[in-house]
Amino acid sequence: MFELEGKVKEVFDEQTFGSGFRKREFVVTVEDGKYPQDIKFECVQDKIQQLDNVSADDTVKVKFDIRGREWKGNYFVNLSAWQVNSVSGGDSAPDSIEPASQDEPPDDIPF
């Protein structure tokens, strides 16, 4: 599990697939010296509702897992957000990516 804090750049519309699988993606900008990093996350299934009150320019803390898979010889990586919280106090400085404590397990992750 990892944790990251930054400013929301964009929140995309929900996507629903024929299998019933649902996801919603969002981008968080993290200051990284001279070159800010735009990092795309996804919320899936029941975690999507966490993005209902999140919009561009909000500062958020994201707890996520890194998920990888192979499909037809290609490898894909997804950052699966399981908790998104607004950070109070406004303009706090974003942190770097760091492992979160192991005492808060994600629930209802579909993989």
Condensed to tens digits (0 to 9), the pLDDT of residues 10-62 reads 999 999 999 999 999 999 999 988 999 999 999 999 999 999 989 999 999 99
Q: Is residue 107 part of a domain?
A: no
CA dist., res. 108 & res. 92, Å (int): 31
Query: What's the pTM value of the predicted model, to 2 decimals?
Result: 0.74
What CATH number should be reported for the domain holding residue 17?
2.40.50.140
Total count of domains within the chain: 1
Is position 17 within any domain? yes
| Residue 49 placed within a domain | yes
Instruction: Give the pLDDT confidence score for residue 111 in this predicted structure.
Output: 46
Q: Is residue 102 in a domain?
A: no
CA–CA distance, 103 with 105 (Å, rounded to integer): 6
At residue 32, the pLDDT reads: 86
Which candidate, 66, 41, 56, 42, places its Cα nearest to that of 86? 56
Q: Domain containing 60: what range?
A: 2-96
Encode burial over 10-30: b for 16+ CB neighbours within 10 A, e otherwise.
Answer: ebeeeeeeeeeeebbbbbbbb
Tell me the per-residue pLDDT of 65-99, one tens digit each, with 9 for 90 and over: 999 999 999 999 999 999 999 986 444 444 444 55
